[in-house]
Amino acid sequence: MFDQCLYFNTSALARRLEREWTEAFEPFGVTPPQGFMLRAILDRPGMLQRELSDELSIARPTATRALDGLEARGYIERRRTEGDGREVAIFPTAEAVAIKRPLNDASGDVTARLKKQMGGPAFVDTVQKIRKARSVLD
């Protein structure tokens, strides 16, 4: 019935992937969106909140809620920028830096498992097609 429905199939896939990354990030006390956000912050300390929202393709209020959770867990701190007091830069705490490698490894393990299940070329092709669809629809 829904074989050709982009919404149905991508939503079903998203739910399945959510379970995978929820399990992977559970030891760190973060949700998948928070886990990917923290990985981005660890990769680019001092990133502005608007840059983070753009990089993750999420609305700023969504980013704010996820950042609130990361801040409550002691993983990030927000600092007002000197040039424009309205802008906020995000920095990882020492606690976040300490889990950088295990966090990246946990995510990498999920990716490796999915690649194995799907087959490497099929996995890469699927990701490329999804990225292309996203960019076309933006």
Q: Is a pLDDT exceeding 90 seen at residue 62?
A: yes
- Least confident piece of the model among 23-27, 37-41, 79-83, 112-116: 79-83
CA–CA separation, 97 and 113 (whole Å): 25
CA–CA separation, 131 and 138 (whole Å): 11
Would you state the pLDDT for residue 111? 96
- The hierarchical CATH code for the domain 6-137 is 1.10.10.10
- DSSP 3-state of 6: helix
Q: Band the pLDDT of 74: cuts 50, 70, 90.
A: very high
**What is the b/e burial string over 94-124, where b = at least 16 CB atoms within 10 angstroms of the residue's CB?**
eebeebeeebeebbeebeeeeeeeeeeeebe
Would you state the pLDDT for residue 87? 85
Rounding to the nearest 10 degrees, give the CA dihedral for residues 7, 9, 13, 14.
10
Q: How many residues are there in the chain? A: 138
Q: Is a pLDDT exceeding 80 seen at residue 94?
A: yes
The answer to whether 41 touches 96, Cβ cutoff 8 Å, is yes
Would you state the pLDDT for residue 70? 97
pTM of the model: 0.88
> Domain residue spans in the chain?
6-137
The answer to whether 25 touches 34, Cβ cutoff 8 Å, is yes
